[in-house]
Amino acid sequence: MARKVPEINAGSMADISFLLLIFFLVTTTMDVDSGIVRRLPPPPDPTADIPEVKERNIFNVLVNKSDRLFVEGRWGDISNLRAEAKEFLANPNNREDLPEKKFEVIPYLGEYPVSRGIISLKNDRGTSYNMYIQVQNELTAAVNELRDELSRQKFGVKFSELSQDYTDAIQKAIPMSISEAEPEDIGGTK
Partner 1 sequence: MARFKKEKSGELPAISTASMPDIIFMLLFFFMVTTTMREVTLKVRNKMPEATEVQKLEKKALVSFIYIGPPIQSKLYGTESRIQLNDSFRTVADIAEFIYTEREARVEADRPLLTTSLKVDQEVKMGVVTDVKQELRKVGAFKINYSTRKKAAKTLE
User: Which residues lie near partner 1 (CB under 8 A)?
Assistant: 10, 13-14, 16-18, 20-21, 24-25, 27-30, 32-43, 123-130, 132-134, 136-137, 140-141, 144, 183, 189-190
For partner 1, the closer CB: 97 or 182:
182
For partner 1, the closer CB: 58 or 141:
141
For partner 1, the closer CB: 67 or 100:
67
**CA–CA distance, 68 with 78 (Å, rounded to integer):** 9
Rounded to the nearest whole angstrom, what is the least distance from the CB of residue 126 to partner 1 in the complex?
6
**CA–CA distance, 52 with 171 (Å, rounded to integer):** 24
CA distances in angstroms from 123 to 2, 60, 64, 99, listed in the order given: 83, 11, 6, 23
For partner 1, the closer CB: 102 or 125:
125
**CA–CA distance, 58 with 88 (Å, rounded to integer):** 9
Rounded to the nearest whole angstrom, what is the least distance from the CB of residue 70 to partner 1 in the complex?
15
Radius of gyration of the chain (CA): 26
**CA–CA distance, 18 with 37 (Å, rounded to integer):** 39
Rounded to the nearest whole angstrom, what is the least distance from the CB of residue 110 to partner 1 in the complex?
28
